[in-house]
Amino acid sequence: MRFKKALATTLCALALSYSTANNASEFKLPDLGTSAVQVLPIEKEQAIGEVMMMQIRSSSPLVQDPVLNEYLSALGNKLVASANDVRFPFKFFWLNNKAINAFAFYGGHVGVHTGLIAQSDNESQLASVLGHEIAHVTQRHLARRIQQAKDNSALTIAGMITGILATVVAPDAGMAILAANSTQAALSQLTHSRKAEQEADRFGMQTLQKAGYDPYAASEFLTKLASQVRFKNKPPAFLLTHPLPDSRVSDVRLRAQQYPKRYVPSSEDFHYAQNRAMARYHLSKEDAQAYYENTLRTSTELDKSHYEYGLAISLLDQKKYDQAEKIINKLLKLKPNNLFFIDVYTDIKLGQKKYEQALSLLEKKHLLRPNNQVITLNLANTAIKAKMYEKAEQLLKVFLLEKPNHVLAKQLLTETYELSENKAAYHESRASLLSHYGAFMKAADEVQKALNFIEKEDEIKKLRLKALLTKYRGMQKELAKL
């Protein structure tokens, strides 16, 4: 499923609070000046994380891909279920970046570069990195930094959080900015300490083993990174924020030996997700086609469906719809409920403008799996293309009842209202979408526009929108305090 790029908006330098609830929730600014902070309460940590996520949405190449998101969330939550000291739900997301990297920050947000899965040798290696990042959150390593920084006059807490955000998302840029104008004290705040890394390695491996993955994969992954350091002047992005002294690889290897060695095959979904990332985000369209055609000729694997899937994506992205359709139809016959295949099939039919065929398949799957994000959003997107706006609106409203903060669903709903010329609903929906990017003043402007299209006699809707207008303006005032 492919969508328009997310709305480009500008977030204030840094806001330190945003409720995770829906638009009826209150907005409160945590008190995080340079005054003493004995403990960072969980609710404040979550609030900081939400606003950092706003900044990422507005300035980073987030991957709006329901199929990959579904896979990453399933893998991540499987690990979270086996982790210790989990205090809140985790949220996993992808960034379109070829570097091997992953990062975690306040409130259980874990970002993963597409390059990490593309270059992982197996699912256990990918899971080992996620387990490590989950441990950084559960052990509250970033929260501890605020505690450590409270008496550091050279480093404000707000500035530290801004730096952490810059560094975990773009380590090269973050470190360059730091080197230009900061102290060594600031640098120490932006990379995990050796002690924190050791702790994350230990708890991460426990989580990995409990979740059923190979604990030896953690040392395999670090060995892979260490070998890259030896042959390159610039270390992998992961190592800029996760130091790798010589002792760390051996420590992780010795720790893994506490567990029995076992063979853990990668799941089918891992292979499909990896090849989707390769075909769509790691290679150019033409290079991807050549890569998969060559791999299919030379591979000795018995099951080559994941390579065929990658080839189908490369053909689809080049608008070679008929060639892609032959491959995906073959795959769907073997696995008719596979979400990866259903998604590509839908895109092929949309490219061919054969909306009825896509609707026919998706409606059947929707009956079996209502509100699954891959099926529901594909079905809504197809309905929009087929100009069935009422159907799309109904699907998306029901979906958002369960997932009220799903940005992609809100984008589709906003598009639905725009195309159906429901101007009041369009501006209100756009306001809600903008609030997810921290653009509260722009959101207030959209609510004001929505009021202009409300019938004079509809007092209830007017009162509701006026309350929403007051709310967004209040949010902006809170941000201005910074």
**CATH for 283-352, among 1.25.40, 3.40.50, 2.60.40, 1.20.120?**
1.25.40
Catalytic residue chosen out of the listed positions 201, 214, 220, 415: 201
User: Is 201 labeled as catalytic in the residue annotation?
Assistant: yes
Residue holding tokens 């259980």? 108
User: Is 343 labeled as catalytic in the residue annotation?
Assistant: no
Tokens of 283: 């290679």
Strand partners, 110: 92, 104
| Closest of 225, 226, 241, 260 to residue 175, by C-alpha | 241
Asked if residue 136 belongs to a known ligand binding site, the reply is yes
> pTM of whole model > 0.85?
no
Number of H helices, E strands in the chain: 24, 3
Segments making up each domain of the chain, as ranges: 61-256, 283-352
CB-CB contact of 196 with 164 (8 Å) = no
Catalytic residue chosen out of the listed positions 45, 65, 123, 133: 133
Edge-to-edge order in the sheet of strand 91-95: 91-95, 109-113, 102-105
Asked if residue 192 belongs to a known ligand binding site, the reply is no
Is 419 in a helix, a strand, or coil?
helix
pLDDT of 364 over the 50 cut: yes
CA pair distance 409, 415, nearest whole angstrom: 10
Residue range 259-291, pLDDT digits in tens? 888 889 999 999 999 999 999 999 999 999 999
CB-CB contact of 82 with 90 (8 Å) = no
pLDDT confidence band for 63 (50 / 70 / 90): very high
Residues sharing a CB contact under 8 Å with residue 391, sequence separation 6 or more, in sequence order: 380, 383
Residue range 140-176, pLDDT digits in tens? 767 666 665 554 544 455 555 555 555 555 544 333 3
Asked if residue 132 belongs to a known ligand binding site, the reply is yes
Residues sharing a CB contact under 8 Å with residue 108, sequence separation 6 or more, in sequence order: 46, 49, 88, 89, 90, 91, 137
pLDDT of 118 over the 50 cut: yes
CA pair distance 431, 178, nearest whole angstrom: 35
Give the mean model confidence (pLDDT) for residues 30-52: 60
